[in-house]
């Protein structure tokens, strides 16, 4: 019994860092109070280290990011103070590996991902597992996709939308989550659930043409023509913002796309091949429109090679490398 309790205890991480959505740090299961950080720079230092995913960051680079308008000769001591604060907040007790959560030498600093749990890393790992199951047709794929979706609590460091050092990991997580939502829409057991995932896709990226058109198609197939018409109009408006001619998307002919010179209507054309009257004529998307990319899972996609955060080697990553 003691061994079992010990095993359970070892599976509970001492430090958990939430970066998807609100930034929070949990120590021994409790949120670290804001006052313990003593300064915004201490929190920012941890965020920067997490964004580098365990890779060592040179001290001069950290000083440049934290104090961009000051000379490194004036900020070196400040960085040392922040590191002391960070060690205290995360806990200074050495783990069984002999390392604490912050690895630092005279030249660089890193966060040890073997000591702390970071939610964005857990999410990307879950996506990778779901993708592997999806590619092989494993029956657990829908469950693994749902689990990955549940782990996505929001965009990476959403409170820091303009920090360049956070952008790369934020975009990687966003693309991975979009892939998960698209796959869940494919696996949805019923129309209502499929619509939920498609609407979430459109909300995530209002310019996702494939998601818009599939949403309109599913609504129309379900007999929800009024909603399909409203969704098509929203889609057409987004495309016009980009200067793109909207595709037809199989919507009721009562939709009034923007007129084009010479009397055309955005490249849409009525289909009366089935003998339908003018009131029930359908406007359909041309079948020869190219699709230059997709985040869907499928045999044509291949995994991108991503540098390992710890070894510098190349490992499989959860992102999809879209074919040209």
Q: How many CA atoms lie within 13 A of 71 on its CB side?
A: 2
Indicate whether 94 belongs to any domain.
yes
Share of the chain above pLDDT 90, in %: 66
* pLDDT at residue 12, rounded to an integer: 57
CA distance 247 to 254: 15
Q: Which H or E run contains 302?
A: strand 302-307
Q: Which two tokens stand for residue 46?
A: 């941890």
CA distance 225 to 307: 48
Predicted confidence (pLDDT) at residue 281 exceeds the cutoff of 50: no
Indicate whether 6 belongs to any domain.
no
Name the pLDDT band for 270 (thresholds 50, 70, 90): very low
* pLDDT at residue 100, rounded to an integer: 83
For residue 79, give the CATH number of its domain: 1.10.10.10
Predicted confidence (pLDDT) at residue 113 exceeds the cutoff of 60: yes
Name the pLDDT band for 72 (thresholds 50, 70, 90): confident
Name the pLDDT band for 93 (thresholds 50, 70, 90): low
Residues shown for the chain: 324
Tell me the C-alpha to C-alpha distance, in Å, between residue 31 and each of 15, 116, 171, 294.
10, 14, 27, 39
Neighbours of 210 (CB within 10 A): 17
* pLDDT at residue 296, rounded to an integer: 43
Predicted confidence (pLDDT) at residue 111 exceeds the cutoff of 50: yes
Residues 305, 278: contact at Cβ < 8 Å?
no
Residues 176, 41: contact at Cβ < 8 Å?
no
Q: Which two tokens stand for residue 106?
A: 């005279």
* pLDDT at residue 98, rounded to an integer: 54
* pLDDT at residue 87, rounded to an integer: 93
Indicate whether 7 belongs to any domain.
no
CA distance 12 to 228: 48
* pLDDT at residue 91, rounded to an integer: 83
Nearest residue to 248 via CA among 230, 266, 234: 266
* pLDDT at residue 273, rounded to an integer: 36
- Average pLDDT, whole number, for the chain? 79
Give the pTM: 0.72
Indicate whether 151 belongs to any domain.
no
Helix (H, G, I), strand (E, B) or coil at 222: coil
Helix (H, G, I), strand (E, B) or coil at 279: helix
Indicate whether 313 belongs to any domain.
no
Indicate whether 161 belongs to any domain.
no
Alpha helix positions (H), the chain:
2-10, 40-51, 59-66, 72-90, 119-136, 141-151, 164-187, 191-204, 209-221, 225-241
Torsion sign (Cα): 263, 268, 273, 274: negative
Please give the angle made by the CA atoms of 131, 187 and 122, to the nearest 5 degrees.
Answer: 35
Q: Which domain holds residue 65?
A: 13-118
Indicate whether 125 belongs to any domain.
no
Indicate whether 303 belongs to any domain.
no
> How many domains is the chain built from?
2
CA distance 63 to 74: 10
Q: Which two tokens stand for residue 271?
A: 């289909």
Please give the angle made by the CA atoms of 117, 112 and 86, to the nearest 5 degrees.
Answer: 90
């Amino acid at each position: 019994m003691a061994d079992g309790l010990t095993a359970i205890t070892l599976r509970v991480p001492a430090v958990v860092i939430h970066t998807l959505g609100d930034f929070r740090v949990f120590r021994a299961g409790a949120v670290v109070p804001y006052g313990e950080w003593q300064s915004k720079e201490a929190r920012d230092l941890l965020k920067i280290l997490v964004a580098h995913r365990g890779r060592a960051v040179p001290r001069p680079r950290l000083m440049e990011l934290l104090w961009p308008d000051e000379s490194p000769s004036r900020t070196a001591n400040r960085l040392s103070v922040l590191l002391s604060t960070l060690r205290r907040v995360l806990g200074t007790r050495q783990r069984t590996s002999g390392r604490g959560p912050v690895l630092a030498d005279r030249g660089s600093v890193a966060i040890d991902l073997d000591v702390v749990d970071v939610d964005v890393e857990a999410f990307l790992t879950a996506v990778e597992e779901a993708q592997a199951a999806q590619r092989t047709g494993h029956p657990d794929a829908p469950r693994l996709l749902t689990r990955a979706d549940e782990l996505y609590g929001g965009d990476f460091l959403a409170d820091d939308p303009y920090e360049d050092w956070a952008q790369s990991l934020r975009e990687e997580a966003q693309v991975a989550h979009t892939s998960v939502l698209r796959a869940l829409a494919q696996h949805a057991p019923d129309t209502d659930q499929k619509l939920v995932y498609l609407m979430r896709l459109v909300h995530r990226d209002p310019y996702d043409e494939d998601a818009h058109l599939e949403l309109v198609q599913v609504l129309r197939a379900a007999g929800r023509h009024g909603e399909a018409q409203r969704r098509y109009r929203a889609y057409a408006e987004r495309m016009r913002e980009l200067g793109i001619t909207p595709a037809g998307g199989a919507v009721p002919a009562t939709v009034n796309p923007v007129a084009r010179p010479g009397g055309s209507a955005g490249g849409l054309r009525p289909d009366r091949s089935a003998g339908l009257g003018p009131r029930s004529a359908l406007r359909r998307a041309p079948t020869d429109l190219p699709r230059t990319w997709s985040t869907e899972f499928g045999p044509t996609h291949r995994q991108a090679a991503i540098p390992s955060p710890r070894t510098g080697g190349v490992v499989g990553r959860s992102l999809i490398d879209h074919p040209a």
